[in-house]
Amino acid sequence: MRRADTIRSYEHASIPFGPGCSRTIMDEALRLAWTEIITPGDYEEHMARVGQAQAGADLTGHLLETASPCRGARVIFAGAGTGQMLDFLDASRLRPFRLVFTDLNARFLKSLKRRLAQLDLPAEVIEDDFENTALSPGPDLLIATLLLENIDWRRGVETISALRPAACGIIIQENPPEMKSAITPGRVLPPSLAEAASQAHPVLVPYDQLVAAFAARGYEQVDTSSRDVADGKRLISVLFQEELKP
Ligand SMILES: C[S@@+](CC[C@H](N)C(=O)[O-])C[C@H]1O[C@@H](n2cnc3c(N)ncnc32)[C@H](O)[C@@H]1O
C-alpha cells in the first residue's frame, strides 16, 4: 500500500488509448465509442491481456475489505462494463450486499447480467449515464473502476458527491511518465478497440487533483493502493470516506 504523498505525479501521464488531449465535457466520440463501437468480446480480451481486468478485480476486493460495508449495505458499481471483474473476484465477497451495477452501454450490461445469472448473484442492473444519473442517493459504498477516464471526471466527482455515498472507491490508471503516445508502442488492439482508439480519447485522471476534488466536497482520502499492469502502467485505487461533521 502506498500513501497519497508517495504517489508519483501524473503530469506526464498519457491516456489508455488515443492521442493525449484534455477535455472538460464528455465528448461525443467517447460516448459513441462505448455505445456503438467497442464490442464486449474485444474489450474483455484486451483488458485480460494487459492484466487490467485482474488488477481491477483485485483492487475492488481490497476496497471492499478496507471500506468493510455492513451486511445488507447498498453497494453501487458505476460504469461496471461487462462485469468482467466477476471472473477474477470471488462472488462470495459480494453476496452480503445489495448490489447495483450501472453502465451506459446496454450491450455490456447484457454480458454483465449473464455473469450474474451464472453466479446466481442477485443485483440490480441499470442502464445509466453517470454524467446525468438517475441513481438514488445514499449508497453505503460506490465503486467506479476506470470510469472517470471516460467521462468528464470532474462531473463524475460532482455526481458522486451529489449521491453522497458514505464511502467511495475510485480506480484509476497511471501510465509511466515517458509514455507520451496514446497507444502503448507495439501493442496490437482488437479491431473494435483499434477503431475506437482512432477517434475517441480517454483522459487519465490526475491523482492529486482527484483527491483535492473529493476533499472540496467533504471526502477524505483514507487508503491508496496500486497494482502493476502491462506496459509499465499501474491501476490505483483510492478510498474516500465522508468526513464526519463536528
Ligand atoms: C474502461 S471501461 C471500465 C469498465 C469496468 N468498470 C471495468 O473495470 O472493466 C469504462 C466503462 O465506462 C462506461 N461508460 C462510459 N461513459 C459512461 C457514462 N457516461 N455513464 C456510465 N458509464 C459510462 C463504458 O461503457 C465502459 O463500460
Whether 6 shows a pLDDT value over 80: the answer reads no
* Ligand 1 close to Cβ of residue 76 (< 6 A): no
- Rounded Cα distance between 104 and 128, Å, is 5
Q: Residue 111: in which H helix or E strand, if any?
A: helix 106-119
Per-residue confidence (pLDDT) for residue 26, from 0 to 100: 56
* Ligand 1 close to Cβ of residue 130 (< 6 A): yes
Per-residue confidence (pLDDT) for residue 183, from 0 to 100: 56
Counting from 1 in the atom list of ligand 1, the atom nearest the Cα of 26 is: 19
* Ligand 1 close to Cβ of residue 133 (< 6 A): no
For 23-65, the pLDDT digits (tens) are 445 589 999 999 999 999 999 999 999 999 999 999 999 999 9
Stated pTM of the model: 0.90
For 157-212, the pLDDT digits (tens) are 999 999 999 999 999 999 998 875 445 767 889 999 999 988 888 889 999 999 99
Q: Can you give the residue range of the structural domain that contains 55?
A: 4-242
Q: What angle do CA 217, 168, 126 make, to 5 degrees?
A: 110
- Rounded Cα distance between 199 and 79, Å, is 21
| CATH code for the domain in which residue 192 is found | 3.40.50.150
**Number of folded domains that form the chain:** 1
Pick the closest to residue 235 from 63, 58, 56 (CA basis).
56
For 116-155, the pLDDT digits (tens) are 999 999 999 999 999 999 999 999 999 999 999 999 999 9
